[in-house]
A and B are shown apart, each in its own frame.
Chain A
Amino acid sequence: MARLTIDRVGKSYGAFRALDDVSLEVGDGELVAVLGPSGCGKTTLLRQIAGFDKPDAGRILIGDTVVSTPERQVPPERRRIGIVFQSYALWPHMTVAENVAYGLDVAGVKDPERARRVNAALSLVELDGFADRRPALLSGGQRQRVALARCLVTEPSLVLLDEPLANLDVHLRAAMEREFARFHERTGTTMIYITHDQTEAMALADRIAVMDKGRVLQAATPTQLYREPADETVASFIGEGMVVPVQVLSVGDDATCEVDLFGLRVRMRCANAQKAAAAARACLHASALRIVEPNAAGLRAHVDVAIYQGGHFRVEAHVDASPDHILHLTAQEPCNLAPGAAINVAVDDGWIIPAATKD
């Protein structure tokens, strides 16, 4: 049974279409990340799931229960979900323990059961001993953990996380990422993780839904998104893919095809339905590009800039055959490439982006 079903949900604010025919299914126990740049609609989607806004079209189901339609919505207090807000939303007039215990108070759980569960939640987030502190005196990371404890103490079936790591220091982020991963493993809670940071999404999610301009472009596993992006936007977003024009010369039986890339013959992966085409687009990743000797098979290019990144260089070069197209790849230390140097780039792999079907 899917824990969460979003079925063709639409939402407009005046002329602005915030959500456009969005569909997504989240299985029980999955951690799905909703990934996209600011303004893509992911927060709007979260508020729809939570019940703070109502949809103009479509339905939302939690389990088998329809919770949102344009006509009727189950109010948020009845949906039995948990949310970790971006600003944590800790109540300043309550102590940490009171914050965490709130959901239990509402449900009528009394001491000693209540105290036990609160302490267990605080231990889970490693905040034992903080019970009587006030939120104003906690650091960002500590508040984050209180918010998480508060969310989990009522054992909800679905947890929404709204950019939870956005306000944390970089080194803290890595630690919290591991925390989340551990929680997910231990508790098996279904989680929807909203973020604009793809490394987070890739690290944590079972599947990622990429959103842009109110639409879900592709929902798939991180690997699939990286290796087989469904359109150009996804391709250029995930893993900083480079979208280049190619000519598909022939299609093989094994989901590969022979393409012409700026005059270079390359074998690339493609979808089964791919046909030969005079004008197609391919997605290249830096990991598939190598600098080779001048007389090997490769693309002639000139270096624009080589940026040291600690142990390796990020090299950006424009293709001689088409100077508008910039490729970037990694070169190991030592690397003596100065701007303007001529290089030869071998292409080992690529993916033919399926043509958009007009329906």
Chain B
Amino acid sequence: MAEAAGVRGRAEDYALLWSLVLVVAVLSVLPLARLLLEGIAPGGALSAQALTRVLSSPATWIATRHSLVTALGGTLLAVLIGGTVGLVVALTDIRGRNAYVFCFVMPLLLAAQVVALAWLQLFGPSSPLLAMLGIAPPLGSRNPLYSAEGIILVLGVQYAPLVFLTLRAGLRALPQELIEAGLAGGGGPMKVLRAIVLPLMTPPLLAGVALCFVSCLGNFGIPALLGIPGNYLVLPTLIYQRLAGLGPGALSEVAVLSLLIGFIAVIGIVAQDALLSRRDFRISTASIVARPFELRRWRLPVEVALWTLSVVVLVLPLLALVLTSLVPAVGVPLNLATATLDNYRFVLFDHAAAKRAFVNSFGLSGMAAVAIVLLAVPLAYFLVWRRSRLLRMVNLVTEVPYALPGVVLAIAAILLFLKPLPVVGWSLYNTVWIILFCYLARFLVLGLRPVISGYYQLDRTLEEASQIAGARLLRRLRTIILPLVAPAAAAGALLIFLTAFNELTVSALLWSSGAETLGVVFFSFQQGGDSNFAAALGVLTVIVSIALMLSTLPMAGRLPQGVLPWRD
């Protein structure tokens, strides 16, 4: 009978929902719970010792304050840069748009440490650029980047592409007629921007802000390079210092500090949720996408400004990397006599680990990107359209593995998977699969946030219409919802791939011979003083990534509009 069929239909919905919740619980809650256990019951016995020690230490609160300052500052800067560039690229008629987007997104490919190092050299007394411009600071003066401001600057520049990607996916859904209505109402472009575009873009902007905030909070590489020399510690570097200083006894303190980071991240997300749930951002017309504003006499200056930004942010660090990769040893001046490709030869042919690392990193990042997006689309469906208290908790909990420093997540994974899995008896430890688990747990939120903002812009009657046509949930997800959130989902997948490809701190603890990743090999070279090998590896990584991005172009015609951000 129809009623029985109705019950069955509902049961299918619930089955999907609960299996999604289970997956999220395993990915996000399990590592956290294990950490919590370690914090309050190290070695199996309940003890508040670590808790009191950490919470009463002034170093903890100083580092917390520093974390908040750098995270908020970095986010603000990233929104300014990424948001402005996103609006200009999407809404104006600048030329070379596709090439520019390509270049703007690329810094995500460079590991944060590489970028920070390049900037340090740029601003330092031995910087060839500053010497050329005649404003090189005198030898011996303190590098201005070794400061909170320096950290904020590099963080903001590093994460501007995050905001850019989520915003651009959102701008794709903006119909022409809304802008025309604003212009017809007598407002100039700036007024239309302020009164119509920006308010409607609140969900993607907030998604970008939230992602940025959590990224800055959990970033280790930049404060490690720029903050450690001046002992300006943020929570991730404080954790690292505790690990370094206390050795095996540090774990419970590390666990407590990690939970503190997670707590701050969750507060940020609760705030974002509260802001989003107040208003309705749905765009229900199916008209053509907004065509750009004409810049007229402003066009050339704007293009120059944009490309200058890209040169500073991308080209200069890349150039520094290339130059370093061509010298036989650090510090040897580069000229025709000294230039050599030996570093490349070593990395490509003599160093088996580097080759394995390329394959591993590519495979792991690709798998993570695809798996997470496939998980995120149905999960976001329930989070946005079937609200409940449980689901809101699920939403919050996915943030935490990303906010935690990678080293902490790795430790949690070790604690969880050291012994073989019960029942099946497989051991994930010291295989690539434990790294994949951490990638899935860590980057879930990178896929989820853009997809959620995509849902906020969808008119639900489109789904209701397909329900009336008789389609059950899985079919609706596949035929109606997925194509409509595809641009947002693709932005998320790209983000995941690029971030995972270069990440270091998670795999630093989890890799083993055969399961190396690019970040780990790079880090090993740097630590050992072989920065020329590291540079060669870095350049090869960038080349491979560019090749990957270019290889998607022939397929661009068959993908839904907006899936590849560098193709209009």
Contact = CB atoms under 8 A, between A and B. Distances in A.
Direct chain A–B contact by Cβ atoms under 8 Å: yes
Interface of A: 50, 52, 65-67, 72-83, 85, 87, 89-93, 102-103, 106-107, 135-137, 150, 154
Interface string B535-568: 0000000000000000000000000100000000
A248 B342 CA distance: 112
B470 interface: yes
Contacts of B471: 77, 102, 106
Contacts of A66: 3
Contacts of A150: 465, 469
9 contacts: A66-B3, A67-B2, A74-B6, A75-B9, A87-B285, A89-B464, A102-B466, A103-B470, A154-B470
Given A52-B467, A81-B468, A154-B470, 12 more contacts: A50-B468, A65-B2, A76-B467, A76-B468, A77-B468, A78-B9, A85-B461, A89-B462, A92-B484, A93-B560, A137-B288, A150-B465
A112 B3 CA distance: 32
Contacts of A77: 9, 467-472
A52 B461 CA distance: 10
A90 B287 CA distance: 11
Contacts of A85: 461, 464-465
> Taking each of A79, A81, A135, which has the highest tally of chain B beta carbons within 10 Å of its own beta carbon?
A79
A92 B560 CA distance: 11
Contacts of B462: 89, 91
B7 interface: yes
Give the 8 A-B CB pairs with smallest separation, nearest first. Answer: A74-B6, A103-B469, A92-B286, A89-B465, A89-B461, A76-B467, A106-B470, A93-B483
A90 B286 contact: yes
A65 B461 contact: no
A67 B288 CA distance: 39
Interface in B440-488: 459, 461-462, 464-472, 475, 479-480, 483-484
> Taking each of A73, A136, A154, which has the highest tally of chain B beta carbons within 10 Å of its own beta carbon?
A136
B6 A135 contact: no
Nearest to B286: A92
Contacts of A92: 286, 484
A117 B465 CA distance: 19
Nearest to B176: A136
Nearest to A106: B470
Contact of B480 (A81, A91, A137): A91
A150 to B, nearest CB: 7
A20 to B, nearest CB: 25
B286 A76 contact: no
B2 to A, nearest CB: 5
A283 B350 CA distance: 100
A78 B6 contact: yes
A75 B465 contact: no
Chain B interface category by residue count: 20 to 34
Nearest to B461: A89
A65 B6 CA distance: 12
B1 A65 contact: yes
Contacts of B287: 136
Interface in B1-44: 1-3, 5-7, 9-10
A83 B465 contact: yes
Contacts of B6: 67, 72-75, 78
Contacts of A83: 464-465, 468
> Taking each of A72, A77, A87, A91, which has the highest tally of chain B beta carbons within 10 Å of its own beta carbon?
A77
B470 A107 contact: yes
Nearest to B284: A87
Contact of A65 (B3, B10, B468, B475): B3
A60 B474 CA distance: 27
Contacts of A73: 6
A327 B108 CA distance: 74
A135 B462 CA distance: 13
A53 B465 CA distance: 14
Contacts of A76: 464, 467-468
A247 B175 CA distance: 60
Given A74-B3, A136-B287, A106 B469 contact: yes
Contacts of A102: 466, 469, 471, 479
Nearest to B13: A75
Contacts of A137: 288
A135 B286 contact: yes
A136 B288 contact: yes
A14 to B, nearest CB: 15
Contacts of A75: 6, 9-10, 467
A67 B479 CA distance: 26
A50 B7 CA distance: 16
Nearest to A162: B461
A79 B1 CA distance: 11
Nearest to B475: A106
Nearest to B466: A102
Contacts of B475: 106
A106 B475 CA distance: 8
B469 A87 contact: no
A78 B5 CA distance: 8
Contacts of A90: 286
Nearest to B12: A75
A316 B287 CA distance: 45
A50 B475 CA distance: 19
Contacts of B472: 77
Contacts of A52: 464, 467
Given A90-B286, A92-B286, A78 B464 contact: no
